[in-house]
Structure 1
Amino acid sequence: MHKMMKLTLASGLMAMATVTTLPAWAQMQAPAAQRSAHEQAARELYRTIVGFRTARGHKQVPAMVSYLKGELVKAGFPESDISITDYDSDGEPTQGLMVTFRAKGKPKAGPIVLLGHMDVVEALPEDWERPPFTLTEEDGYFFGRGTLDNKYGIASLSHTFIRLKKEGWTPKRDLVLVFSGDEETGMISTRAQAKFVAETIKPALVLNSDAGGIRLTEDFKPIMFGVQAAEKTFATFELTVTNPGGHSSRPRADNAIYELASALKAIEAYRFPVRDNAITRGSFAELGKITPGPLGEAMLAFSANPADEAARATLLASPAANMLSTTCVATMLKGGHAENALPQSATATVNCRIFPGEGGAAATQATLEKVIGNDNVIFKLDTDVVESPASTLNAEVLGAVKAGVHARFTDMVIAPYMEAGGTDGMHYRALGMNTVAISGAAMRDADMFAHGLNERIRVEDFYAGLDHWYLILKHLAN
């Protein structure tokens, strides 16, 4: 679940008769520009892994794992340092991949674990303007499912390992790639890998490629590098109302659909209390400096005094509101069994993103029950909830991030933030491992299409980001 704050045309024209026989996306596709050998290698790796349909139901993760292993072995990694683990993810086979870049001699510091996920959200070709599982270069962008979430991270980390190995570089501490196979669904591989890492590798740092990155303005001006240091707790509830029903010609006072609708309207109207922590205060302090007008002023005021009512009101009316509190929203609905019968049951799915330290799923359910005020509405927790604390952006990681980011953008503001979505990182934090996400991606809000149609990343940002992990790992392990 990649969570960021998240081409030129071919110079040689095809003959018109040929062009008109191709679909629109193919007419626009351009070959890769002249690039260095390592850039071309990175593009080829990226192109190949985007081509694996690693969405649930297609069982393509093992094929992608096999490809990545082959590339790493060709680069010089011994098979003994590559581990592939099979998992059953809610009835579907998947795999996890772990690769160790070993220090020479006695390590000078504790290991660093690097996270990414190989699976993607499904993309239906009939809904897309271009084939979702073909890397398409068009109008200055790479299009395709996973081009951001999270095959960009997988490609960046894998290519960096291959590049460093081919250069003959040796780290002074162990570096370990840990790629999961079902982050977008059951996270079975994620949980197992996190447990193994905590018990066996015992890392000094865990760095995630699936969030964070450079925020661009609408005219592509870089304004901030976000370090994801906390995540809200993900919890989904099913709310159900039942009654005996009956014939639709004889309406009764207690209609299950109406009762459920009233409950959902109560949830819609409720606002959880405003909360803050060091991560959100620090985030607003930096965002406020680069956000113009009253919103920027409110960010600065809130960071200095979270009790400032005027600042709260301004932030709550803005897209920044999800950083201020727990949120719960209805996402799915079903009810009734026949058009001429009163409903015997009605069920809604309500998804909550719970502010860290808020008391978790149990406290959130208790609040919703009180807000609804109807004992006929039965709650069922539909997720295996993982509550994780906030991480810290320590001096070692901050120095490494500066090495990676300031090489591209001098004096770029670097600030922590809290993710409203969820990543593999939550499971590592929950087991006590300090985990921050520092993707090299650069993106405008208008280009954030992760999980949606026509997912994309700018071509120039793909290539510019290839040194991101290269510089960070050299800084941390030299």
Structure 2
Amino acid sequence: MAFLLVASTLSAQPALAQDAAALTPDQQLARDIYRDIIAFRTARGQQQVPAMVAYLVSRFKKAGFSDDDIRVTDYDSEGEKTQGLMVTYRAKPGSTAKPIVLLGHMDVVDALAKDWVRPPFTLTEEEGYFFGRGTDDNKYGITNLTATFLRLKQEGWQPSRDLVLVFSGDEETGMISTRAQAKYVADNIDPEFILNSDAGGIALAEDGTPVAFRVQSAEKTFATYELTVTNPGGHSSRPRSDNAIYELAAALGKIAAYQFPVRATDLTKSYFATAGKLTPGELGQAMLKFAADPSDESAIATLQANPETVGTLGTTCVATMLEAGHAENALPQSATATVNCRIFPGEGAAATEAKLKEVIGNDDVAFKLITDVTESPESKLRDDVKAALRFSLDKRYPGMTILPYMESGGTDGMHYRTLGYDTVALSGAALKASDMFAHGLNERLPVDSFYGGLDHWYWILKKLAE
């Protein structure tokens, strides 16, 4: 999960913890679910996703969902057992409207206790934050959607269309469950549209001032290549002119110096036009200039120099891993670099690989694509979804700007867009830039963001399926 809107950086004030004694039953239920699922180490190599699925199933059954409403499927994800979970909230009899699918993922990037200040798989409330792996990505989304379904069921509410939770089990790794679930959804459910809990959300300035609600409407294509140079090697006392490490280093230097062509779409121009008004200083001015003229060189230079905006301008490729040599006194027989690319929608992985080869200009550098590539189109923010989001937002942040954007990272949503379904991400989280630790050490979510967002999906679903 990722969302960021560059805003004014004032001194941060920690959120105030919710008084446990003052929790409503709905808040207590959500907190209990949050605590319990954080405890499952649903990272690669731990095989804890099935245990988390069993826990969630017990929650849904206790709330009144039947066996027919719940679908658990086993998957082999790169040699490891995982599961996917689907739960259907049935429409009232006679309903004809097409279903809505709601996405989340149960797995997390692993975390080592020795590296964290607090135990990563124990929910800790401290200094106005909930700490733990998955507190943001994506067990907050899982908690929020689950608690909303349980709350609506307890109220006896019947939607005007089927609402289907689809929770994947390996979004952070192979996305095997994601792909299979997407195909099942297309073949058996055929929803009108899809909403994702794993991106977007409320951007706050560092003083806690609400800035905008970001709606993820597109994602860049994720593609990773291994670049390898080989030669016969030899004894280090007899150096060769074609040292594999030097040759690979020269290739990486050319990639580092290359900037892919600047691209702009209606979505990215609209994003910069709105974000520029909300972002102070030189960066905000550059956003506005780029929105008005995507060829403005000064604006491009400013945006490319900022790590938070460079990804919105076009394709990026960056070296992330190196492996070379086999002994300190031997010339390397091979040197390999891993290069990760985030490809702008409309530019394929094949074209990106061809451009990298052209930039390097050395046929001795062998390329290998090591990821399954999914290229997905942009989705439109539908009027009915925007109206439902506005209805929910106005109860929390009246009049907040709604800002569609393109994600530089990737989520389950790309696989549904590829199948032709409008898919947008609408997390209920409210975060400052300094609160974003997804995938990193000491991941956290403000306590007031957790409780403040519990009505988020409740009102969206009420509006879309009343």
TM-score under structure 2 normalisation? 0.96
Counterpart of 1:5 in structure 2 is 4
Letter in 1 for 2:303: L
Counterpart of 2:222 in structure 1 is 234
Q: Distance in 2 between matches of 1:346 and 1:317?
A: 30
Q: Distance in 2 between matches of 1:31 and 1:191?
A: 42
Conserved 8 A contact 2:117-2:442: yes
Q: Distance in 1 between matches of 2:220 and 2:262?
A: 14
Deviation at 1:4, TM superposition (A): 1.5
The 5 Å alignment of 1:282-321 reads 282-318=270-306, 319-321=308-310
Distance 1:8 1:379, change over 3 A: closer
Counterpart of 1:351 in structure 2 is 340
Distance 1:41 1:260, change over 3 A: same
Counterpart of 1:393 in structure 2 is 381
Q: Distance in 1 between matches of 2:157 and 2:420?
A: 31
Q: SS of the counterpart of 2:387?
A: helix
Q: Distance in 2 between matches of 1:45 and 1:269?
A: 48
Deviation at 1:254, TM superposition (A): 0.3
Distance 1:245 1:212, change over 3 A: same
Q: Distance in 1 between matches of 2:166 and 2:194?
A: 10
Conserved 8 A contact 1:255-1:342: yes
Counterpart of 2:326 in structure 1 is 337
Counterpart of 2:312 in structure 1 is 323
Counterpart of 1:414 in structure 2 is 402
Deviation at 1:31, TM superposition (A): 7.7
Q: SS of the counterpart of 2:392?
A: helix
Letter in 1 for 2:318: V
The 5 Å alignment of 1:135-214 reads 135-214=123-202
Q: Distance in 1 between matches of 2:274 and 2:411?
A: 23
Residues 427-458 of structure 1, C-alpha deviation per residue, up to 9 Å, x if partnerless? 00111111000000011111100000000000
Letter in 2 for 1:457: L
Percent identity between matched residues is 67
Q: Distance in 1 between matches of 2:78 and 2:281?
A: 49
Deviation at 1:78, TM superposition (A): 1.1
Counterpart of 2:36 in structure 1 is 48
Letter in 1 for 2:3: M
Q: Distance in 1 between matches of 2:244 and 2:130?
A: 48
Counterpart of 1:23 in structure 2 is none
Query: Does 2:106 correspond to 1:107?
Result: no
Query: Does 2:269 correspond to 1:281?
Result: yes
Number of residue pairs matched by the alignment: 457
Q: Distance in 1 between matches of 2:3 and 2:282?
A: 24
Q: Distance in 1 between matches of 2:387 and 2:86?
A: 26
Letter in 1 for 2:367: F
Q: Distance in 2 between matches of 1:239 and 1:183?
A: 25
Q: Distance in 1 between matches of 2:15 and 2:293?
A: 48
Deviation at 1:107, TM superposition (A): 2.1
Q: Distance in 1 between matches of 2:411 and 2:138?
A: 10
Conserved 8 A contact 1:42-1:156: yes
Counterpart of 1:27 in structure 2 is none
Q: Distance in 1 between matches of 2:98 and 2:129?
A: 38
The 5 Å alignment of 1:23-42 reads 32-42=20-30
Q: SS of the counterpart of 2:74?
A: strand
Q: Distance in 1 between matches of 2:393 and 2:324?
A: 51
Distance 1:402 1:314, change over 3 A: same
Deviation at 1:205, TM superposition (A): 1.1
Deviation at 1:346, TM superposition (A): 0.3
The 5 Å alignment of 1:418-433 reads 418-433=406-421
Conserved 8 A contact 1:31-1:137: no
Conserved 8 A contact 1:9-1:138: no
Letter in 2 for 1:437: A
Q: Distance in 2 between matches of 1:275 and 1:301?
A: 14
Q: SS of the counterpart of 1:404?
A: helix
Deviation at 1:310, TM superposition (A): 2.6
Letter in 2 for 1:323: T
Q: Distance in 1 between matches of 2:127 and 2:257?
A: 43
Deviation at 1:317, TM superposition (A): 2.1
Deviation at 1:293, TM superposition (A): 2.0
Q: Distance in 1 between matches of 2:268 and 2:94?
A: 39
**Cα RMSD, aligned residues only:** 1.4
Conserved 8 A contact 2:16-2:448: no
Deviation at 1:108, TM superposition (A): 4.2
Task: Select which of 453, 468, 474 maps to 2:456.
Answer: 468
Deviation at 1:396, TM superposition (A): 0.8
Letter in 2 for 1:244: P
Bigger shift: 369-378 or 401-410? 401-410
Deviation at 1:106, TM superposition (A): 2.2
Deviation at 1:33, TM superposition (A): 4.5
Structure 1 unpaired stretches of 5+: 11-29
